[in-house]
Structure 1
Amino acid sequence: MKRIGRFGAAVGFVLLSGSAYFVVSWPSVPPEAIQSSVIHRPELIDRAWRLPVATKFNTEITWQSNSSRCGPASIANTFRSLGEQKTTEAQVLEGTGKCWTGICFMGLTLDELANVARTNTHRKVTVLRNLTREEFREHMKRSNDPGRRYIINFSRGKIFGGGVGHFSPIGGYFEAENLVFVLDVNERYKPWLIQRQRLFSAMDTFDGDQKRGLLLIEDN
C-alpha cells in the first residue's frame, strides 16, 4: 500500500444502517511536534503574509476538507489567489474524474495533480521534479514573483517526525533569512516558515518510484 503515503490518511469503510460511510483520520503528529519542528512565531508569520505572493491569498487559507484532499485544496487556494473562477475543491475537481467519492483514494501524484490543475485553467502548469539544491533555491527566489505560483509535494515525516506525503502552496521566500513560507492547507498545522534546505530534503523524497517536487502555475 505504498501509495497511501501521498496523503497520509487512514481510510476506513464503515456500514451504518445499511448505508456506506467513509472515514478519514488525520496523521498522528502531536501538536508539540508541529510547533517545535517549524517556525510559527507571530511576528515572522505576519511579515511573511506581506510577501508579494502571500498577499494575493489575503492572509486566508481554505482548509482541506479531509486528509486525502490536500492536493485539490492547494489548487483551489492557488486559483483563488490568481483570480480564477474555480476556487473550491469541488470546482477544481470538476471534469477530472478524480476523488468523485469525496475521498482521493490512495492520494494524488504530482503528475495527477498537474492534470487536475490543467483541466480548469488556461495558465501554464509545469511539473518540476529531480531538482538540485541550487535549482530549488532559484525557484524559491522566484516564488516571490506575483505571476508565478508554486505548490510543493513533500514528506511530512522528514520535517515533523510523522505523517507522510502532503501538498501545500508556497507563499514566498525570505532570501536573507533563507526561510520559505509554506501555506499549509491542513488546519492542524497552519502556515509556517522553514529553512530552505530542510524543505528541500522533505521534497527530495520518493512517492512510489518517482521523486516528489514542485508544481508551477504561471501566466502563459
Structure 2
Amino acid sequence: MALAGLYRRILPSPPAIEFSSSEGKQLFSEALQSGTMEGFFKLISYFQTQSEPAYCGLASLSVVLNALAIDPGRKWKGPWRWFDESMLDCCEPLEKVKAKGITFAKVACLAECAGAQVESFRSNKSSIDDFRRHIMNCTASEDCHIIASYHRAAFKQTGTGHFSPIGGYHAGRDMALILDVARFKYPPHWVPLSLLWEAMDTIDEATGHHRGFMLISRLQRAPSLLYTLSCRHESWVRTAKYLIEDVPVLLKSDDIKSVQDILTVLFTSLPTNIGEFVKWVAEVRRQEEGGSKLSEEEKARLAVKEEVLKEVHETELYKCVTEWLSSPSSCCRKVSSLHDKDSLPEIAASVCCQGAELLTGMHGTAGGFCCSATCVKCLKGDGDPPKTVVSGMVTSGGGEQGFDMLVPMSQTKLGSDCGCGPSCIGMHPASNDVLTALLLALPPHTWSSIKEEKLLAKIQGLVSTENLPPILQEEVLQLRWQLNFLKKCQDNKVDDDVY
C-alpha cells in the first residue's frame, strides 16, 4: 500500500492572506494602482521553486539576480548563461547548504560574488521605519529587490528560518507580499509588515546573529573580466591573511632597498599554490554546439579580456615583475610552482574541467572530472582576426564530453613545451600577469610600512590605480574588493558587519 506523503500545507490565515484569494487579488489591484508593485512583474517572470528543502536562500537569490538581468558571465547549460541554484556555490559548498541551509551573511556574499550590489541590514541595526521606507522604494522600482530572512513561527507556519523575495507592498494596510520560494509548501501571501519585521527580528541559532533583509540591485561598475580570487580554494584563508596582514610586516625589513628587493621579499614568502588562489576567467563552450565561427557576443567578450591582458602588460609594474621572474631570485619553489602551471596543455585541461563542472551543475566537486587530449584551434571567418580555442575531452563517471575554451591572446612567446609547436603565442595570463594583477589589487595602505621614503614613493607610483586605463582599473578594484571580503571571512567578521 502506498504511504501518504506531504502535499503542501494549509496557509494559516490570518495572519497571512493568500495572494490568489479574493482579498489577495484586491490587495494586489490596490497596490498596483498605488505604484508599489513595479518590481513584482520582473520577479514573477523569473520566479522559481527551491529545488531542495534547504535551498530557500539560493532560490531567492537566483530569482532576484535573473530579475535584475545580471549576466553570470559563465554558462549554465548548452550555450545559455543563466543563474541557477547549482551555480551559487562560491561561498559555501552546495552539499553543506543542502544539509544545513545557508546563513544571512553567506547569501549576501553570494550576491556580491555574482556581480550584484548588496546593502544588508540586520534587524538589531535597523528599525521597522527604515524597513518600511526601503520596501516602499524597492517595490516602486524594477531596479532593486528585497530578500527577507525571517522565522516562519511569527506567521503560524511550520518550519524555522527562511528566505524569500518581497514582491510588493500595500501602503493602505501596511502589508508586504512574500513570494515564498517554497511553493511546494505555501503559496505567495500577504502579511502585515509589522509581523514580518517581528519575524525578521529573531536570532539565527546557527550564527547567534539577528536575521534581517537585504537590498539587491545591479552594480554600476563592471564585474571581474579576466581575474578573480577563489574563495573555494583550500588555501584561501591562509593566502588572504598573508596578503592583508603578513605583507605589511615583511615590508618593514631594513634590507629592502629597491623594488626588486620588495618583490623578492613578497614572492619568496608566497603561500603554496598561489596560482590556484588567483583564477583567470575563460569562456567555455560545448563542442556539440557546432560551427566554426564565434558569435558577435563571444567575440566582444574575448576582445575585452584581451584588452585587459594587454593593459596589464603595458604597466611599469608588469615590467618589474617580469624582470624579477627572469632573475636568479625567482628560483624558489613557490614561484617555480607558478611556472609549472603555465604550460598550455595543463591550463587547458584545468579550465575544460572547470567548464564541465559549471555546465553540468557540479561546480566545486573535487576530482569529479579528468581532461585529456587537449589541442589548439584557430577560428576565423568573414575577415575577422583569428580567435584561439583550446579543446579538451573531459571524462567523468565513464562518460566523455568535449569542451572548448576561448582564450585571450597574450604577446608572450611560449617555448616548444606548450604542446602546439615552437611558434605558438602565449594565450593565457602567465605568472607575471597574475602576480602583477595581484600586487595592483593590494590595499593602498599595504606599502606604508616601507621605511625609505623614495622607495615608498616609487612603489606607490607603480601600484597606483589612478592612472590605469578604465577597464583595467575596474578589474583591479573588483579584485581588491574580493580580497577585502575574503579577509573578512577569514576573520569571521562578515556576520559582525552589516552583513
TM-score under structure 1 length normalisation: 0.77
1:104 positional shift: 2.8
Once the two structures are superposed, residues 95-114 of structure 1 have per-residue CA deviations (whole angstroms, 9 ceiling, x without a partner) of 33421x38533221110111
**Distance of aligned partners of 1:90 and 1:61 in 2 relative to their CA distance in 1, 3 Å threshold:** same
Q: Distance in 1 between matches of 2:30 and 2:98?
A: 31
**Once superposed, which parts of structure 1, at least 4 consecutive aligned residues long, lie more than 4 Å away?**
none
Q: Aligned AA for 2:55? A: R
- Supply the RMSD in Å over aligned alpha carbons: 2.5
Structure 1 position 114 matched with structure 2 position 111: no
1:148 corresponds to which residue? Answer: 144
AA of the residue aligned to 1:31: R
Higher helix share: 2
Q: Hey, what's the Cα distance between the residues in 2 that align with 1:102 and 1:190?
A: 27
Pairing 1:47–2:29 present: yes
**1:201 matched to 2:198:** yes
Shift of 1:80: 1.5
- Which residue is 1:5 aligned to? none
**Partner Cα separation in structure 2 for residue 55 and residue 164 of structure 1:** 28
TM-superposition CA deviations, 1:44-89 (whole Å, max 9, x none): 3653895100011245621001110000000001112111233211
Aligned equivalent of 1:212: 211
Distance between the aligned counterparts of 1:53 and 1:211, measured in 2? 26
Q: Hey, what does 1:9 align to over in structure 2?
A: none
Unaligned runs of 5+ in 2: 72-81, 221-499
Alignment partners' CA distance in 1, 2:211 and 2:161? 9
Alpha-carbon deviations, 1:182-216, whole Å to 9, x = none?
A: 11101121211111101110011000311000011
Distance 1:118 1:53 in 2: 20
Deviation track 1:100-144 (CA, whole Å, cap 9, x = no partner) reads: x385332211101111111111x3112111221211111221121
Query: Per residue, is there more strand in 1 or in 2?
Result: 1
**CA distance in 2 between partners of 1:215 and 1:135 (Å):** 12
* 1:1-220 mapped onto 2 (5 Å cutoff): 31-40=9-18, 41-42=21-22, 43-44=25-26, 47=29, 50=32, 51-58=37-44, 61-85=47-71, 86-91=82-87, 93-99=88-94, 101=95, 103-121=97-115, 123-129=116-122, 130=124, 131-144=126-139, 145-187=141-183, 188-208=185-205, 209-219=208-218, 220=220
Shift of 1:148: 1.0
- Say which SS state the counterpart of residue 10 (structure 2) adopts: helix
| Aligned-residue identity in percent | 25
Q: Which SS does the other structure have where 1:166 is aligned?
A: strand
Residue 425 of structure 2: aligned partner: none
Quick one: distance in 1 between partners of 2:215 and 2:148? 9
Aligned length: 191
Amino acid at match of 1:38: A
**2:68, 2:217 within 8 Å by CA — same for their partners in 1?**
no
Change over 3 Å in CA distance of 1:47–1:102 after alignment to 2: farther
Distance 1:34 1:48, change over 3 A: farther
* Distance in structure 1 (CA, Å) of the matches to 2:30 and 2:145: 15
1:143–1:171 contact (8 Å) kept in structure 2: no
Taking structure 1 as reference, are residues 67 and 45 closer, same or farther at Cα in structure 2, changes over 3 Å only?
Answer: farther
Contact kept, 8 Å, 1:183 with 1:190, in 2: the verdict is yes
After superposition, the C-alpha distances for 1:134-193 in whole angstroms (9 at most, x for unaligned) are: 111112211212221110000001112431000000112111221101111011212111
Q: Does the C-alpha gap of structure 1 residues 191 and 49 become closer, same or farther in structure 2, counting only changes over 3 Å? A: farther
- CA deviations over 1:15-70 (Å, ceiling 9, x no partner): xxxxxxxxxx98x9x83344544111242365389510001124562100111000
Do the aligned partners of residues 70 and 32 (structure 1) sit closer, same or farther apart at CA in structure 2, a change above 3 Å counting? same
SS in 1 for 2:145: strand
Q: d(CA) in 2 for partners of 1:48 and 1:36?
A: 20
Tell me: higher relative CO, structure 1 or 2? Use CA pairs within 8 A at least 6 residues apart.
Answer: 1
Distance 1:157 1:165 in 2: 9
TM-score of the two chains, using structure 2 as the length reference: 0.36
The residue identity in structure 2 corresponding to 1:198 is: L
Within 1, Cα distance between the matches of 2:193 and 2:92?
Answer: 35
How far, CA to CA, are the matches of 1:32 and 1:133 in structure 2? 28
CA distance in 1, matches of 2:67, 2:170: 20
Which stretch shifts more, 61-70 or 125-134? Answer: 125-134
Structure 1 distance, partners of 2:65, 2:99, is 23
